[in-house]
Structure 1
């Protein structure tokens, strides 16, 4: 059982795409998943409406209610909870990070996007949470570019997830059809990327949860 906050102060980073596909990967793995949509634009909620009741479930929430909705979802059996946050919303981001076991910061590997995540990184560090930057919407193979971007992010005092979500048309086509990439193109590269990222997030959320339990016992 874990809660993942998807946070970035930069618009267009792919937060909603990451949130709905990670939740779908959890469902495909046999876990009940929930997306909490805190964005006033309600993109995830609109996508859910297009699906006409198919999982993962998406509910909306005002920032002050995030913690209560996470607890209610856990009580009702949700195993994976993904919180989708809007850009430039400090309150929603703060509340999401506070309740998260793991924070993912999606970021395009461009100079402007990399510079813009400093505020988000500072928030994650201030709240003492485990955060990782996930590269999104970049080229599938550009090792030098990713090495340079990783070095810059590491200088901010945060780590980079080893799994990249490349710029693939499948993400756009799937969302427009009210689907996930796992459904739209199950044997495609986008589906493989999401599956790999989901496995990785489960492992890191488990490590964090175990560490918290150990601290409580001590």
Structure 2
């Protein structure tokens, strides 16, 4: 099992958006994927409630149960576990980071967001887990993102993912209906960005990206992994 934690002590930076788009990408490539919603606002859980396709599965859990639920997910054979954490919750963020193989820190390239990232960067220094900032809601002006990346890497000492997610209506519109950008606009710019982020994430986790193949029976086959992985309803692990 590979575990990805989405962490940022500031709210409104796109943690849930990135978490759900990545989780859906893994699921669509044949990986049995589970999202643990650790945020009391339960935005990821609400997205799942509105979703017609119930995969990837989302479980809302209490932070105190994280370690136990992660172990249960491993025991039932979960392929990819995505941890969507709450802002302003240092102990939960730290525990999520310790459970993870990879930490992603979604952030927007505004000066207020970048200043607020210092707490998160300092927290991640307490754990030995690969961590990267992911620039989100990036405006068309490239210089804004370039300057933000320089500040994050130089001042905060946090490496930055080379894939940037633009400020696109598709990301917000799709979440309302329980979908992701690659489902509502498969050929759109947002879907292409998510595809690149997915490929990069697979590289960081040391796992094959696979190819999206939909059989006549509605089964996804992960070609690169060399396995037929039938999508199925994920067992509840939070109860």
Give the 5 Å matches for 1:124-135. Answer: 124-135=124-135
SS in 2 for 1:182: helix
Q: Is the contact made by 1:26 and 1:198 (CA closer than 8 Å) also made in structure 2?
A: yes
Alignment partners' CA distance in 2, 1:74 and 1:199: 23
Q: Output the TM-score relative to the length of structure 2.
A: 0.83
Q: Which moved more, 1:53-62 or 1:160-169?
A: 53-62
**Aligned position for 2:39:** 39
RMSD: 1.3
Alignment partners' CA distance in 1, 2:146 and 2:52: 42
Q: Is the contact made by 1:2 and 1:206 (CA closer than 8 Å) also made in structure 2?
A: no
SS in 2 for 1:148: helix
**Aligned position for 1:148:** 147
Alignment partners' CA distance in 2, 1:74 and 1:36: 13
Query: What are the Cα deviations for residues 28-84 of structure 1, in whole angstroms up to 9, with x where unaligned?
Result: 111011100000011101111111552000001211211221121122121111100
Query: What are the Cα deviations for residues 154-208 of structure 1, in whole angstroms up to 9, with x where unaligned?
Result: 121110000011111011110011111111111111111111101111111228x
Q: Is the contact made by 2:52 and 2:178 (CA closer than 8 Å) also made in structure 1?
A: no
Deviation of 1:142 (Å): 2.5
Alignment partners' CA distance in 2, 1:85 and 1:200: 21
Q: Output the TM-score relative to the length of structure 1.
A: 0.91
Deviation of 1:122 (Å): 0.9
Q: Which moved more, 1:178-187 or 1:49-58?
A: 49-58
**Aligned position for 1:21:** 21
SS in 2 for 1:12: coil
Alignment partners' CA distance in 1, 2:68 and 2:167: 35
**Aligned position for 1:64:** 64
**Aligned position for 2:7:** 7
Alignment partners' CA distance in 1, 2:5 and 2:149: 21
Q: Is the contact made by 1:114 and 1:153 (CA closer than 8 Å) also made in structure 2?
A: yes
Alignment partners' CA distance in 2, 1:82 and 1:202: 13
In terms of fraction of residues, the more helix-rich structure is 1
**Aligned position for 2:121:** 121
